Amino acid sequence: MSDELSPDDYVLLNRSATIARLLSGVAHEVNNALQVIGGSVELLDDVSLPEQARVRIGRIRAQHDRAATVVHNLMAFARERPDGVARVSLRELLTRAVGLRAYAAGRAGLRIDLALPEGRALTVQGNPMEVQQAVLNLIANAEQALTGVAGGAIRVELADDGAMLAVRVMDNGPGVPLELRERVFEPFFTTRPRTEAAGLGLPAASQVARRAGGSLTLEDTAVGASFVLRLPTA
C-alpha cells in the first residue's frame, strides 16, 4: 500500500482543516455568550428568592455548565497548536482536577479517590490548561458511565511508566463493549443519549495527549473502564 496521498486525500484534509477553523470560531462566539449567561445566573441566584425560582435557576446553571463543557471540548478538539507549553506538576494538577469534580460527583452519589505516589517531582511537558481539561474530560466520562450505578466509584491514579507518567481514570461501571472499543475516540461518537453527551470529551483528551507526545488508551479490565493518559516526563 502506498504512503502517498491521493488528490482526494488532499481535498479531504483541506476540508477537515476548514471545518476545524469554522468550529473553533463558532465555539469561541458561543463561549462568549455562555460567559455572559453564567455571570447573569450567578447574579440572579439569591437566598431571598422563592424556592421554586431557585430550583429553576439551578437547572439553568446545570445546563449552562454542560454547554460550557461541550464548547470547551470543541475548542480543544479544533485547536491546531497549543499555547503556553510549560512544565506541569501532575501532582498539583490531579489534586486540583479531582477537587473540582468531587462536589458534583458526591451530589450524584459517586466517590472519587485519588492515589499519588510519593517521592520525586511528577512533572510533564505540556499546556497546563489543556492537560487539566483532558483529565477533567476523563473524569466526566467516568461520571457519565456511572449514571444509575449504585455504589459508583472513580479512582484517579498516577504512576511511573518508563519515560512516561501514566494517569489512570478507572470506574466500576458497565465498561465499554468490545465492539465499541475502537470507536470511543472518534469525534461525536457516544454511547450516551445526545442530550447528555456530545462525544467530544475523549477525542479532545486524545488530541491533547498526542500534541504533548503521549497517548490516551483504553485498558482491558475485568470490571468497568480504565482510560490511561500517558505523557512524557519533563
Which tens digits make up the pLDDT trace of 110-131?
A: 999 999 988 667 889 888 888 8
Tell me the CB-side half-sphere exposure of residue 222, using CA atoms within 13 A.
Answer: 0
Question: Measuring CA to CA, how many Å separate 163 from each of 144, 159, 188?
Answer: 31, 11, 32
DSSP β-bridge partners for residue 136: none
Question: Which of 81-107 are b and which e, b meaning 16 or more Cβ less than 10 Å from the residue's Cβ?
Answer: ebeeeeebebbebbeebbeebbeebee
Per-residue model confidence (pLDDT) at position 230:
95
Angle of helix 128-145 relative to helix 201-211, nearest 10 degrees?
150
Per-residue model confidence (pLDDT) at position 71:
77
Per-residue model confidence (pLDDT) at position 163:
87
* Amino acid identity for residue 10 in this structure: Y
Dist CA 204 CA 77 (whole Å): 5
Per-residue model confidence (pLDDT) at position 3:
44
**What domains lie within the chain, and their CATH numbers?**
7-78 (1.10.287), 86-232 (3.30.565.10)
Per-residue model confidence (pLDDT) at position 193:
55
Query: Quick count: other Cβ atoms within 10 Å of Cβ 191?
Result: 14
Reading the block at residue 126, the C-alpha cell is: 505540556
* Amino acid identity for residue 27 in this structure: A
Question: Which conformational region is residue 79 in: left (phi greater than 0), alpha (psi within -120 to 50 degrees), or beta?
Answer: beta
The per-residue pLDDT string of the chain (234 residues; one tens digit each, 9 = 90 and over) reads 344 445 554 454 455 556 666 777 777 788 888 888 888 888 887 768 888 888 888 889 888 887 887 777 666 655 544 456 788 899 989 998 888 788 788 888 999 999 998 866 788 988 888 888 899 899 999 998 998 899 999 999 999 888 899 999 999 999 988 888 888 888 776 666 544 555 678 888 888 898 888 999 999 888 999 999 999 988
Question: Measuring CA to CA, how many Å separate 150 from each of 106, 141, 143, 176?
Answer: 13, 17, 12, 18
